Structure 1
Amino acid sequence: MKLPPADSALGRLMASLPRSGRVEWIGVRPGRDEPVIECDEVSAETGAGLVGDRYAGGSGKRGVTLIQAEHLPVIATLAGLDAVHPATLRRNLVVSGIPVIALKGRRFRVGDVVLEGTSPCDPCSKMEEALGPGGYNAMRGHGGLCARVIDGGRIRRGDTVAALQAELDLQ
C-alpha cells in the first residue's frame, strides 16, 4: 500500500498518534511449533530481534511481532471462544492503548528499544488448529504488526509504546 504524502490531509491524519500505548504481555517463540515462553522482560538486538526468539538473527523485518490487546476479545468472539491467551497467537508483544497497525512505516519506542513497523503480521494456517475451525479467518485483519529493531535494549511489561515523530518514515 502506497502511503499518502505526509503533508496531505490524509497523511497528517495517519501521522497523528496523540496517545501512547503500553506493553501488556511479552512472549518469545524459541522454535517452530515450540511453546511460547512468557516473560516479564526481554532483550532486543539491533537488526536481529528478540533474544530467545526463533526469528532473532534473521532478516530483521520480523524481528518483533506486536498485536493489539483490544483485538484479543474480538478474535475470541470470531473464533467462537470465551477468551484467547496471547501465547496462542504466537506474537511477541501485546500492546494496549495505541493502534499498532498505525505504526506501520513508522519508528516508535517500546521501553529502551526503537522499532520500525515493517508490515502487517498476517495469520498463518496454524491459527486454524490453535483456535479451531474458522480461527484463521477470525485473525484476518487482527494479526498485528511486524517490526525491525533499530536500536536495541530492554522491553519490559508495562513499558510505554510511543511514535517517535509526526511524519511517516517510510513511503
Structure 2
Amino acid sequence: MNSATGTLQGIARRSESRAEMEELQSVAVTAAAGVQGDFRGVVRQGAAKPPRRQVSLIEAESWQAALRELDIADDEALPWFLRRANLCVAGVRLPRAPGAVVAIGPSCRIEVTMECDPCSRMDEIKPGLMTALVPDWRGGVLGRVLDDGEIAVGDEVRIER
C-alpha cells in the first residue's frame, strides 16, 4: 500500500442522513454536488465553496485492519460501505494531510480537507468498530471536489501531492 497509484474498489452514496448506502459501479463527481445523488456533497445556496466533508474516502486495507482487530473472520467480513464512506480505494495510501490531492479516473480530483473521524454509528454496526477505526486515519479522509469527473469501479487512483 506504499505506491502512489491504486484502484477504485467501490462507490456508494446515500440520499439523506442515516439512509441506507447504495452501491454504484460508476457515478459523476462534481464540485457542485460531490458524489451525484449523495446528500452530503451538495453545495448549499449562498455557500462560498464546497463543504469540507463533500466526499469521503477509505482504504480497503484500513477497513480490513479494523475488522481483523475485532476478530471478524473473512467469511463474516462487513462490507466497506457500512463505514458510510463514498469511495473505497485499494493499493494506495491516502494522504494524511489537508491540501493533498487524490485523482481518480481521467479527470476527477479531490482535495483532502481532514481526517474522517469515526462516529458512534460505527459501534451500532459492531461494538468496538469506532475505536478500531481510530488509529492511523483508518476511518478515512474527507475532501472537496476540485475537478469534476465520471468515475467507475476499477479506475486508477493517484496521489498528486
With the shorter chain as reference, the TM-score category is 0.7 to 0.9
Q: Work out the CA distance in 2 between the residues paired with 1:49 and 1:148.
A: 7
Q: Give the structure 2 partner of residue 116 of structure 1.
A: 111
Shift of 1:80: 3.4
Structure 2 counterpart SS, 1:100: coil
TM-score (norm 2): 0.84
| Conservation of the 8 A alpha-carbon contact between 2:53 and 2:142 | yes
Deviations 1:12-31 (A, max 9, x none): xxxxx753111001101211
**Structure 2, gaps ≥5 residues long:** 44-49
2:67 paired residue among 62, 76, 91: 76
Q: Work out the CA distance in 1 between the residues paired with 2:13 and 2:51.
A: 15
Greater shift after overlay, 105-114 or 121-130? 105-114
Q: Work out the CA distance in 2 between the residues paired with 1:50 and 1:32.
A: 14
Structure 2 counterpart SS, 1:143: coil
Indicate the structure (1 or 2) with the bigger Cα radius of gyration: 1
Structure 1 counterpart SS, 2:39: coil
**Structure 1, gaps ≥5 residues long:** 1-16, 166-171
Deviations 1:102-156 (A, max 9, x none): 464212311120110110111111001012x212101113101001001111111
TM-score (norm 1): 0.79
Identical counterparts, % of pairs: 30
User: Following superposition, which runs of at least 4 residues in structure 1 exceed 6 angstroms of deviation?
Assistant: none
Structure 2 counterparts to residues 120-159 of structure 1, below 5 A: 120-131=115-126, 133-141=127-135, 142-159=138-155
| Conservation of the 8 A alpha-carbon contact between 2:97 and 2:114 | no
